[in-house]
Structure 1
Amino acid sequence: MIDATQNYLFIGAGGMGMAPLACWMSQAGHRVCGYDAHLQERVRHWLVSAGVHLEDFIFPEQIQHYSTVVYSSAVSQAHPLLVAAREAGLRCVRRGELLAEIAAHKRFIAVVGSHGKTTTSGMIAHGLRRCGIAADYILGGLSADPTMAPARASDCEWLVAEVDESDGTIDGFAPAVTLVLNVDWDHADRYGDAAKLDAAFVGLLNRTRDTVWLPQSLHLQSSGGAAVHYFDGAAEWMQLDSPPRGRFNQKNGDAAAAVLSLFGQALQADTLASFPGMARRQSLLYRDQQLSIVEDYAHHPTEVDALIECLRGNEPERRLVVVFQPHRYSRTRQFKHAFAQSLQAADEVYLLPVYAAHESVLPGGATSDLAAAFSHVAPVQLEMSLAGVQDLAAAIGTAPTQLAFVGAGDIEEFAGAFSSWIGAQRTPALTASPTGQSVSGDVPSSPPSAAGSIAERAVARAQPRRLLDRAAMDYLRARLSPDCRLKCNEPLANKTTIRIGGAARLYAEPANFSDVRVLLRAAELFQLATFCIGRGSNLLVSDQGFDGLVIRFSAPAWRRVEPLGPDRIWAAAGGRLKEICGFAARHGLGGFEFLEGIPGAVGGALRMNAGAMGSWMFDVVERVQFIDAQGHYQDWPQQDFHFGYRKVEEISRGIALGAVLRSVDSDTETAIRERIDNYSSSRKESQPRGASAGCIFKNPEGNYAGKLIDELGIKGMRVGAAEVSDVHGNFIVNHGGATAADVIELVRRVRLQVQTASGYILEPEVLLVGQSWDEVLSE
């Protein structure tokens, strides 16, 4: 039961069903926290606007801060937060179960059906808003109108919301009014045959108290006491202008009009005609004279049929090309022949890999199985990659075309990448001239002839790179949060402690975890190498810079340090080690004092297992949160990592996001401060004060790099403005104006002299960004 004293945690708050519900709960005065590792920026906007508190990281140790956990059906029952909540005795409810609890205290209008729920609910909400009717609503998606919130909460008695049958929570509703749009067998993982799905809808009708609205074509036998009406033609008899074109839209419009008639208020004639639509429902992504690009959420054969019919009517003179992403292996296996039949109504069809959702691979449910079901011209299977984007762009050519990206998975990312690529290709843009000035012009499809000047040929070679960068930047700007800094050709020297290096081809400072996800997805789609930095210690950036995307964890969210239980600290990737040391001292947590001597941030310290004063980062690590080499979020205990001297395998191939650190002992702040001061004094006496990257070489087995350099009298060796420190031989100091080439040459000379005199081969400890040490030291 809804309780105003409860503190609600929404796991999966960014889902299209979860976000509007969280917004309604917050607007209604409840304390709501949202957590989602895949939160889209447009969803984040509405959650924050509604007062939902969002957290990028929540740990099982913090679950006691909440009293009720709400989760979507897409969340695994093994999710650590859900497991912790159950173990702590918290109330755990699914999204549909909480909605049913809310609905039980309202005059609830349930919008149900296999297709069109979100669009029809959106039409009703649009009508309520446009005509000033007092009624709450909770949608199952976002409106195409950027000013229309996905939920509205007030003190009125009415509530309109769609009820989802896919997870079985439909059985918990007893509405005042039920609007049934259609019933088509789906969700074979829950309903083994059509009769079982029909029974779920009939059960809802039997529990409906007042009124049932149905289409005349639907024959559901109900034994309930509610009055049954048919909504066919409602828009016409209510003298409302027709809704936007489309087979389903006409039916949805009649259904919406029937519901709006219940409120007994006059409706404006354009109530339906002014409906802007819902996001991902025939959304226009790009248009020029030859090409229009739309995306649509259709993921059932009936929906695909209606969509293609509508698209044909919209632009009958153009060829229709459909890119389809099957949604779930179970649905693909269930409907592959029907999908093939529906999709063959397009002129050309391209198929993407199946979007699995939470399912494992099922025999007969792969994209290749769907392709084999086509009886006419075989579809083309595409990769969700830059190669797929380029292949599709080449196939589209210049003939007048309507291109539709269709599916309910992550096809919108591929569609966005393709639209940005096409826009970069076809839209005039500022490009660098041979003189370095900016000129306006189209990106050429081929380089000029060899007879052109050297400068002209240089510009031509740069065009493919500029095209890719423009496309990537366009894709990212539409998806990153407003607080995320995004730049091209950003100098990196001032972002490192040695103050040396060229520029990053693309550069970003993510404001939250969602931004990181977007950046990594863009890098994957546009085939950009990535490198992450925090404070920039232990790095040497090449003079040529980094030919890819540099992600810097410098925003406030990445510098968070907070207590996690009586003897633990959670620190985000950008948190400075020196600050963690001070934080621990204030809380009486010992064992972190050695961090004062490491001039870096948490992310780099985890990647390198940084150490000082005989202690190492992983001595105090309990768990690490990171993105692995496959792009998956992980939270691993210390013992699962393969860490050694200056390298942690798993983190070096991924991205560290933060860590839970455990104190080895407790003490008074005064005693801890004394140890910190001692470490600080020792560091100041033994390390140079100038700009450096820290220790330049790894200590060879059985000896110390600094000692070898000192004994051989190499201190003070200099190349340009780079010098081997006269304070500590294992440091190279930038006296101002040094280049990476200077440092590399100095490293080469020091290595040669040490090897010649002692036989030791010193290996660089500092990371070389933009080049490799093997490459530059073998020259």
Structure 2
Amino acid sequence: MIEMMTEPASSCLPDAVYMLGVGGMGMAPLAIYLSQAGVSVTGWDDCLRPEMKVLLREHGVQLSPVLPDSFTLVVRSSAIGDDHELIIDARSRGASVLRRGELLAQVVQGRQLVAVVGSHGKTTTTGLLIHLLTKVGFPCGYLLGGLFRSDLSPAKYCAESPWIIAEVDESDGTVEGFAPDITVAVNFDWDHADRYAQESDLRDAFVRLFARTQDYVIIPEDCEVLNHIAPSNKALRCQSSAGFNASNSALALATARELGAEVSLSLLSDFPGIRRRQDIIGKTRGVTLLADYAHHPTEVTALLQHARSEWPGRQIVIFQPHRYTRTRQFAAEFARSLSSADDVMLLPVYAASEAPIVTGKSEAIVDASGQDWPVLTPDDLPRVLDQAIRGSRPATVLFIGAGDIDELARRFARDWQIADDWREELSLYTKLTLGEPLAGKTTLRVGGAARFYAEPDGTDDLEQLLYFAKQSNLPWFALGRGSNLIVADEGFPGLVISLRGEGFREFTLLDNGRVNVGAGLPLKRLCGLAAKQGLGGFEFLEGIPGTLGGALRMNAGAMGNWMFDVVESVEFMTPSGEIAQLPSEDFHVEYRCCNELLDSMALSAVLRSGASTPGDSIREQMDAYAGRRKESQPREPSAGCIFKNPPGNHAGKLIDELGLKGHRIGGAEVSMVHGNFIINRNRASAADVLALIRKIRAVVLRERGVELEPEALLVGHNWKDVL
């Protein structure tokens, strides 16, 4: 047992510090500790999570993206390089710049430090130790390298005690600045090849740390490396039973007892756990979704074995490797660890500030496995994983990794549970998917995915979907053939509904040359069916790549004719799910807009044809219109006309006169055939298209004083926000 000092020595606390990367799991607890100790703490993080922002502010940490003039000390996360603009600014002002571990080493000087080290399990072991000491009222300060699942703070400054419990990280080399009173070495596995090129290099770092340790080195009895390198006069070997986290618990108990605390295993029964360690983030209808921080092959193996024993069903793993160097180092080991799962999907490597390494990408793990495991983008994951889960109940889904996979996992769990609840109320024939790509469903071929995508089987399911969207406070959008439409690269954050079911594609002849047409029927198909029946008057619609529903909403027009010229009445569903029918004269129709259908969804329309005409004559007229379109419109992917024609002029004419045809940004290009068309020349992004639209508008406004107004719809953003 260690003898306590009667008076705590003062540690080296700065007066003020600016912390860059303050939202990280190592930085945030240090910021909270310093703030509690009376230090003026300001910080910033480009990727600060909302809950972390609240936690930091609750503990008095100020947030500012600007380096205060008076600060002479800046601390950065090891994930932030020397080329960051704030680091460059700080050094230009003569401020000291330290890494997180370097400041921590200064802060604990003069105190009695219990340093928890090891290749993995440090945070859990530290958390267990803090929990034990808190339960018995043992006074000490502490810094956890994570967050408790409870409201217990991840850091605590204690002026009344000399003891401080802290995780000490070996990954960036700052471990060399610590001389603990007690070192708790949880385990040893070679890692961090970017710093320790060989296992012996990491082993030597542990040897040096043990030599600097003043009193005891507490180690697990079953770790061969630690037992070999721990000094015999300092080593305290700890026995543990088999089982997940058993060694961590035993080490925490042994350490607490060495500090003089009277603790027992029963005190761990209400341990809240650490966030991102076996977090159950979703559970419903035979499916359990978990998130875990494991990022070393040994951790992954232990986690999957534990999960197999605890949660039933098919085991589906989504793994995000952490760092290129680690992936290159352990590709074969990761492949072996993951092979015990029934289904494996990988995400691209989370770089953590590393430059890409070709042999350190996720594909290296796939190659080593000999399996056809997919490497998915974050945008592809929801759709693919949703399909996998639906065919695998019961199932356990594990999101594994130390990068941003936790955010992806929680978003997926939220959306998947929403979709799973919806499916319980929808017919089997209604399609409902997550993360459905939208680019391929538009004529411009750009844009991201829909958060939710549905093809209802009938009006009952359509009504149910609109009700779900309202209850979930989700925006919804009706998608036809995707013409006259630009989808943002970020996709659509709500529900996209497409009336592709046969129930919405009817074509029923009525009397007096009238026909009832479903809103989901493509216009080209409408024209063909009408021609067969000798019904003229619809020929102008033939070349418009849309559905009747979209044509009604936009009051589509071509060849001098407009959609509502041939409409007798429209049946539509309101946002509240009510079905209404109005004659055409009751609609407020204008250029490229029908006001009543902006927030409602057309279901069908009664159309009136002109005089009965032989089918051959109708087809001749359609062919003539088609020929004119081919001559005047580009064949490449486009959204159609981008801008509305200004009063007394034509947008395409203005663009042509100003020499903007052929102008290109990224893969988006102003068509040489028609100036009011932007074509997808070479894998354009929505950002390319929007940038080109802004450029065109700016030139036309500057040179002609005309402000062009977009005609194409923008989904996922608002025009006013991007122009």
Per the TM superposition, whether the score is higher than 0.5 is: yes
**Match for 1:306 among 302, 306, 326?**
302
The residue number in structure 2 matching 1:148 is 152
CA contact (8 A) 2:324 2:357 kept: yes
Q: SS of the counterpart of 1:421?
A: helix
Q: What is the Cα deviation at residue 457 of structure 1?
A: 2.7
The residue number in structure 1 matching 2:408 is 414
Would you say how many aligned residue pairs link Structure 1 and Structure 2?
Answer: 491
**Match for 2:61 among 48, 52, 60?**
52
CA contact (8 A) 1:63 1:81 kept: no
Supply the distance in 2 between the matched residues of 1:702 and 1:283 (Cα, whole angstroms): 59
Q: Deviations over 1:128-169 (max 9, x none)?
A: 222211111100001112x11100111111000110000000
Q: What is the Cα deviation at residue 421 of structure 1?
A: 2.5
Matched, 1:133 2:105: no
Q: SS of the counterpart of 1:19?
A: helix
**Match for 1:764 among 696, 704, 708?**
708
**Match for 2:275 among 254, 273, 279?**
279
Q: What is the Cα deviation at residue 402 of structure 1?
A: 0.9
Q: What is the Cα deviation at residue 281 of structure 1?
A: 0.6
**Match for 1:447 among 430, 434, 439?**
430
**Match for 1:15 among 20, 24, 30?**
24
Q: Which amino acid aligns with 2:352?
A: A
The residue number in structure 2 matching 1:725 is none
The residue number in structure 1 matching 2:210 is 205
Supply the distance in 2 between the matched residues of 1:542 and 1:192 (Cα, whole angstroms): 67
Supply the distance in 2 between the matched residues of 1:653 and 1:527 (Cα, whole angstroms): 26
The residue number in structure 2 matching 1:371 is 366
Supply the distance in 2 between the matched residues of 1:256 and 1:33 (Cα, whole angstroms): 33
Supply the distance in 1 between the matched residues of 2:210 and 2:593 (Cα, whole angstroms): 67
Supply the distance in 2 between the matched residues of 1:361 and 1:382 (Cα, whole angstroms): 17
Change in Cα spacing, 1:383 to 1:26, as seen in structure 2 (3 Å) is same
Unaligned runs of 5+ in 1: 237-245, 430-440, 449-454, 474-486, 490-502, 506-519, 529-539, 548-627, 631-648, 657-695, 705-761
Change in Cα spacing, 1:26 to 1:382, as seen in structure 2 (3 Å) is same
Change in Cα spacing, 1:54 to 1:523, as seen in structure 2 (3 Å) is farther
Supply the distance in 2 between the matched residues of 1:421 and 1:106 (Cα, whole angstroms): 48
Q: Deviations over 1:177-214 (max 9, x none)?
A: 00111110000110000000000011000000111111
Supply the distance in 2 between the matched residues of 1:80 and 1:96 (Cα, whole angstroms): 21
Change in Cα spacing, 1:379 to 1:702, as seen in structure 2 (3 Å) is closer
Change in Cα spacing, 1:467 to 1:95, as seen in structure 2 (3 Å) is farther
Supply the distance in 2 between the matched residues of 1:414 and 1:333 (Cα, whole angstroms): 24
Matched, 1:389 2:396: no
Q: What is the Cα deviation at residue 42 of structure 1?
A: 2.3
Q: What is the Cα deviation at residue 222 of structure 1?
A: 5.3
Change in Cα spacing, 1:152 to 1:330, as seen in structure 2 (3 Å) is same
| Structure (1 or 2) with the larger CA radius of gyration | 2
CA contact (8 A) 1:187 1:331 kept: yes
The residue number in structure 2 matching 1:727 is none
CA contact (8 A) 2:700 2:708 kept: no
Supply the distance in 2 between the matched residues of 1:521 and 1:201 (Cα, whole angstroms): 47
Q: Deviations over 1:352-406 (max 9, x none)?
A: 111122112212212222111114x432332311x42122111222521111111
Matched, 1:110 2:115: yes
Q: What is the Cα deviation at residue 5 of structure 1?
A: 6.1
Supply the distance in 1 between the matched residues of 2:703 and 2:17 (Cα, whole angstroms): 56
Change in Cα spacing, 1:653 to 1:298, as seen in structure 2 (3 Å) is farther
The residue number in structure 2 matching 1:168 is 173
CA contact (8 A) 1:340 1:371 kept: yes
Q: Deviations over 1:246-270 (max 9, x none)?
A: 8441000001001110232322552
Describe how 1:596-675 pairs up with structure 2 within 5 A: 653=691
CA contact (8 A) 2:149 2:275 kept: yes
Q: Which amino acid aligns with 2:123?
A: T
The residue number in structure 2 matching 1:729 is none
Supply the distance in 2 between the matched residues of 1:301 and 1:771 (Cα, whole angstroms): 42
Q: What is the Cα deviation at residue 314 of structure 1?
A: 0.3
Q: SS of the counterpart of 1:271?
A: helix
CA contact (8 A) 2:133 2:256 kept: yes
Q: Deviations over 1:645-689 (max 9, x none)?
A: xxxx999659x9xxxxxxxxxxxxxxxxxxxxxxxxxxxxxxxxx
Q: Which amino acid aligns with 1:370?
A: I
TM-score by length of 1: 0.57
Supply the distance in 1 between the matched residues of 2:131 and 2:68 (Cα, whole angstroms): 38
Describe how 1:287-326 pairs up with structure 2 within 5 A: 287-315=283-311, 317-326=312-321
Matched, 1:403 2:397: yes
The residue number in structure 2 matching 1:452 is none
The residue number in structure 2 matching 1:81 is 86
Q: Deviations over 1:83-106 (max 9, x none)?
A: 111111112111001111112121
Supply the distance in 1 between the matched residues of 2:711 and 2:110 (Cα, whole angstroms): 61
Q: Deviations over 1:103-135 (max 9, x none)?
A: 212100000000100010111111122221111
The residue number in structure 1 matching 2:41 is 32
Q: Deviations over 1:274-327 (max 9, x none)?
A: 212111111001112321111111111100110011001102x41211111111
Q: CA RMSD in A?
A: 3.8
Describe how 1:688-707 pairs up with structure 2 within 5 A: none
Q: SS of the counterpart of 1:64?
A: coil
The residue number in structure 2 matching 1:227 is 234
Supply the distance in 2 between the matched residues of 1:288 and 1:104 (Cα, whole angstroms): 50
Q: Which amino acid aligns with 1:24?
A: Y
Unaligned runs of 5+ in 2: 1-9, 432-455, 479-487, 497-591, 601-664, 668-686
Q: SS of the counterpart of 1:38?
A: coil
Supply the distance in 2 between the matched residues of 1:408 and 1:393 (Cα, whole angstroms): 22
Supply the distance in 1 between the matched residues of 2:698 and 2:235 (Cα, whole angstroms): 81
Supply the distance in 2 between the matched residues of 1:468 and 1:231 (Cα, whole angstroms): 56
Change in Cα spacing, 1:418 to 1:267, as seen in structure 2 (3 Å) is same
CA contact (8 A) 2:217 2:236 kept: yes
Q: SS of the counterpart of 2:48?
A: coil
CA contact (8 A) 1:697 1:765 kept: no
Identity %: 35
Q: Deviations over 1:679-728 (max 9, x none)?
A: xxxxxxxxxxxxxxxxx999766665xxxxxxxxxxxxxxxxxxxxxxxx
